[in-house]
């Protein structure tokens, strides 16, 4: 597959949504030190899911082509892998690692070399590996956010709808770890999922409704 085909113009809407997604979480990581109100996180995720699912429903053919190109696309791979690398290094910097403070610099060197080196020497399915590592960090943020909500909100005011985030976070962890180990599985899942237009519509409606639920939770419940 040549470079032009990998970076098809039809993939630009999804690419733009990807940049918004990555940019939002990097802003939370670096500017807000991984701290975000659960209501704001719920609204953002709800709007994101609604946007991407609406595009799938309205433009199913373009959506399908974009997804099929993603596993071996170079640009998303570089963006996700580098974003995940710098986010992880930032977490090392800000986390309390008293037991490892004397060797902390080796963590910077080791993980930095692995992350950046992957962009040069592990480019096969780099996009899948990159998004999987990035989503592990997103899952950590989601789980930490709902945990802060659980312990900081008075018991009478807290809602068990927070469990939506707990389930979502752990589901992301399981899927992301599977994708890191077997990145070609994403290609197979995508090919199966978009091979029939009805499957695109069904999954699109599901994620649209789930996004709407998160939006309502963020605006009215949390």
Supply 8's token pair.
């098809």
Contacts of 88 (CB under 8 A, 6+ apart): 111, 115, 133, 137
Selection from 123, 99, 150, 165 nearest residue 3 by Cα: 123
Rounded Cα–Cα distance for residues 17 and 127 (Å) = 15
Rounded Cα–Cα distance for residues 68 and 176 (Å) = 18
Q: Are 123 and 77 in contact (CB under 8 A)?
A: yes
Q: Which domain holds residue 132?
A: 3-221
Q: Return phi, psi of residue 92, to 5°.
A: -60, -40
Selection from 148, 110, 125 nearest residue 33 by Cα: 148
pLDDT tens by residue, 43-98: 999 999 999 999 999 999 999 999 999 999 999 999 999 999 999 999 988 887 77
Query: What does the pLDDT read at residue 158?
Result: 86
Tabulate helix, strand, coil % of the chain (nearest 5): 85, 0, 15
Supply 22's token pair.
């990555």
Angle, nearest 10°, between helix axes 104-121 and 74-94?
Answer: 180
Residue 154's SS3 state is coil
Average model confidence (pLDDT) for the chain? 91
Q: Return phi, psi of residue 156, to 5°.
A: -75, -20
Rounded Cα–Cα distance for residues 77 and 84 (Å) = 11
Q: Are 15 and 75 in contact (CB under 8 A)?
A: yes
Q: Are 56 and 197 in contact (CB under 8 A)?
A: no
pLDDT band at 7 (very low <50, low <70, confident <90, very high): low
Angle, nearest 10°, between helix axes 184-194 and 197-216?
Answer: 100
Query: How many domains, in total, are found in the chain?
Result: 1
pTM (2 d.p.): 0.91
pLDDT tens by residue, 100-113: 777 878 888 998 99
| DSSP codes joined into one string, 133-150 | HHHHHHHHHHHHHHHHHH
pLDDT tens by residue, 152-185: 988 888 899 999 999 999 999 999 999 999 999 9
């Amino acid at each position: 597959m040549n470079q032009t085909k990998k970076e098809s113009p039809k993939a630009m809407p999804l690419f733009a949504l990807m940049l918004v997604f990555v940019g939002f979480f990097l802003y939370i990581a670096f500017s807000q030190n991984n701290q975000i109100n659960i209501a704001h996180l719920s609204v953002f995720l709800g709007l994101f899911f609604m946007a991407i699912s609406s595009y799938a429903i309205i433009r199913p053919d373009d959506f399908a082509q974009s997804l099929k190109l993603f596993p071996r696309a170079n640009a998303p791979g570089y963006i996700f892998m580098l974003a995940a690398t710098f986010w992880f290094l930032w977490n090392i910097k800000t986390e309390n690692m008293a037991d490892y403070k004397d060797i902390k610099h080796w963590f910077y060197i080791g993980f930095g070399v692995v992350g950046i080196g992957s962009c040069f020497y592990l480019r096969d399915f780099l996009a899948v590996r990159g998004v999987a590592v990035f989503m592990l960090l997103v899952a950590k943020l989601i789980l930490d956010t709902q945990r802060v909500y659980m312990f900081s909100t008075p018991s009478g005011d807290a809602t068990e709808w927070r469990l939506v985030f707990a389930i979502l976070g752990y589901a992301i962890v399981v899927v992301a770890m599977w994708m890191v180990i077997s990145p070609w599985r994403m290609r197979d899942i995508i090919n199966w999922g978009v091979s029939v237009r009805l499957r695109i519509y069904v999954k699109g409606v599901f994620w649209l409704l789930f996004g709407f639920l998160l939006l309502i939770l963020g605006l009215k419940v949390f």
